[in-house]
Amino acid sequence: MPQSPLKIGLAGFGNVGAGVYKNLEKNRDILRERTGRDIIVHRVVVRDLKKKRAVSLPLENVSTDLSDLIEDDEVELVVELIGGIDRAFDFVKASLEKGKTVVTGNKALLAERGRELFEVAKENQSHIYYEAAVAGGIPIIKTVQESLIGNHIQSVAGIINGTCNYILTRMSEAGLEYEAALDEAQKLGYAEADPTLDVNGWDAAHKAIILASLSYGCWVPCDQIYVDGIEKVTKPDIDFADDLGYTIKLLAIIKLHENRGIEVRVQPSLVAKDHILASVRGVFNAILVTGDVVGETLFYGSGAGQDPTSSSVIGDIADAVARENQQGAMGFVTHDLYGKPLKVEESISKYYLRVQVVDKPGSLAQIATILGDHGIGILSVIQPEDHEEETAPVALTLHFAPFGKMLAAKAQIAKLDCVREEPILMRVEAV
């Protein structure tokens, strides 16, 4: 029996709020199949009804008063995306007291007043989900809370502020000074007009506090952690670090010490260039989690932005459905929204082909002719000049072609008089 739709309310229709609405509408079919329920945005509260928006507001139930959302008993779940602390706190608290489920992406709210809110949730048997509060689209909260539940988390090292990572990447790779890199980040929309909370390290610190609190089951107070931003990092530091074999990253570090203390801090830090965290460039985020059972794991993706952050909000909404409906998102759900497996002959890629040929003129021409007959373009050819054998390898890279055509061409090439051994064919993947 199909369940009734889940009616949700959005508090805030800024960048992320609009993204949640847009993507819930766009992927409604697959979400219904996977969760067993239709998810409907039933009510929206915004600050300014007349603001011009890239994503249009729904036609009904839009207002500027948060209590409209709190008092709407049809709304089972609210998504808090208004930002800030005091007004958001009051809204989340009132919603929990009404027994509503709360999904929030508000890291400052949770870091500063999460302890109080989780107590309110417990008293009212309601629930708070907050995947979107840390590292945008990367499912780090669920991973630490559920997948790694059997582990003592030994350490977390995260690049969890995309703005800072963009600025440091540009200083390092394009030789920009700090101010120029910040300016560029602002022009590209990667930094806000007032970038203070990003560049002073506190955005990363709020996320680190949430991760540390979750990992260690106790709320880490904001005034007990050490936070340094990137404002003082200069071009000479980037260059010295480079000379020394390092890249400068703003790292959030959480560490469990054997004397049973927890270290939490955010600081610009030198990371060895061959370390996996050094390869995290631009606005991307990555979090290296080490557990006593699982060992080292890394989670990488977009740490901010409308779509990635909505992916996490929608995941949380689906989790709330799954919690209510034990058959929901947790099971293996079959449906026919995607069609059937593709025949491999139709799959397209570039290729690498190595052919062992008798070393005389004309061999390459014969191979090229066969490839041309199958409509396969040649990207490059390597034919080593020095060799002592009678036969020599020719290595080619080939342009995009269906695998079926490629196999047919390879079979013809294999039959050439000048060819010895079965040719070696591999894909060149641009994944």
335-354: contacts with its own copies (CB under 8 A): 335-344, 346-347, 349, 352, 354
Between 49 and 424, whose beta carbon lies closer to its own copies?
424
Quote the CA–CA distance of 119 and 303 in Å, as a whole number.
28
Q: For residues 377 and 349, is the Cβ–Cβ distance under 8 A? A: no
- 277 near its own copies, judged by CB under 8 A: yes
- Site residue total, its own copies (CB under 8 A): 137
Quote the CA–CA distance of 132 and 21 in Å, as a whole number.
15
**Run of H or E residues at 317:** helix 306-324
- Applying CB under 8 A, among 40, 62, 94, 298 the residue interacting with its own copies is 298
- What is the CA 387 to chain-centroid distance, rounded? 48
Q: Angle at the Cα of 307 (from 303 to 309), degrees rounded to 5?
A: 45
Query: Min. distance of Cβ 128 from its own copies in angstroms?
Result: 7
Between 105 and 139, whose beta carbon lies closer to its own copies?
139
**Annotated catalytic residue 207:** yes
- 226 near its own copies, judged by CB under 8 A: yes
Between 66 and 93, whose beta carbon lies closer to its own copies?
93
| Count of CB atoms situated within 10 Å of the CB of 254 | 27
- 61 near its own copies, judged by CB under 8 A: no
Backbone angles phi, psi at 350, to 5 degrees: -80, 165
In the range 162-191, which residues lie near its own copies by CB under 8 A?
none
- 27 near its own copies, judged by CB under 8 A: yes
- 361 near its own copies, judged by CB under 8 A: no
**Binding segment for its own copies among 98-106, 165-173, 267-275, 367-375 (CB under 8 A)?**
267-275
Between 66 and 210, whose beta carbon lies closer to its own copies?
210
- 380 near its own copies, judged by CB under 8 A: yes
In the range 109-138, which residues lie near its own copies by CB under 8 A?
114, 118, 121-122, 127-128, 131, 137-138
Structure tokens at 217: 């089951």
**Binding segment for its own copies among 53-61, 94-102, 174-182, 212-220 (CB under 8 A)?**
212-220
Picking from 59, 78, 98, 74, the residue whose alpha carbon sits closest to that of residue 20 is 78
- 149 near its own copies, judged by CB under 8 A: yes
- Applying CB under 8 A, among 15, 55, 237, 416 the residue interacting with its own copies is 237
Inter-CA distances, 1 with 4, 37, 275, Å: 9, 11, 52
- 3 near its own copies, judged by CB under 8 A: no
Quote the CA–CA distance of 158 and 204 in Å, as a whole number.
9
In the 8-state DSSP scheme, what is residue 301? E
Q: Angle at the Cα of 268 (from 262 to 269), degrees rounded to 5?
A: 80
Residues contacting residue 180 through CB under 8 Å, at least 6 positions apart: 170
Backbone angles phi, psi at 169, to 5 degrees: -60, -45
Between 49 and 426, whose beta carbon lies closer to its own copies?
426
**Binding segment for its own copies among 46-54, 184-192, 198-206, 294-302 (CB under 8 A)?**
294-302
Between 294 and 416, whose beta carbon lies closer to its own copies?
294
- 411 near its own copies, judged by CB under 8 A: no
In the range 240-259, which residues lie near its own copies by CB under 8 A?
240-241, 243-244, 246, 248, 251, 253, 255-257, 259
Quote the CA–CA distance of 318 and 37 in Å, as a whole number.
9
Between 68 and 307, whose beta carbon lies closer to its own copies?
307
Catalytic residue among 207, 249, 350, 410: 207
- 221 near its own copies, judged by CB under 8 A: yes
- 322 near its own copies, judged by CB under 8 A: yes
- What is the CA 428 to chain-centroid distance, rounded? 25
Q: For residues 95 and 70, is the Cβ–Cβ distance under 8 A? A: yes
Q: For residues 230 and 243, is the Cβ–Cβ distance under 8 A? A: no
- Applying CB under 8 A, among 192, 292, 359, 373 the residue interacting with its own copies is 292
- 1 near its own copies, judged by CB under 8 A: no
**Run of H or E residues at 274:** none
User: Which residue do the tokens 């025949």 mark?
Assistant: 343
- 145 near its own copies, judged by CB under 8 A: yes
Query: Min. distance of Cβ 332 from its own copies in angstroms?
Result: 5
Between 292 and 373, whose beta carbon lies closer to its own copies?
292
Quote the CA–CA distance of 280 and 165 in Å, as a whole number.
8
Catalytic residue list: 207
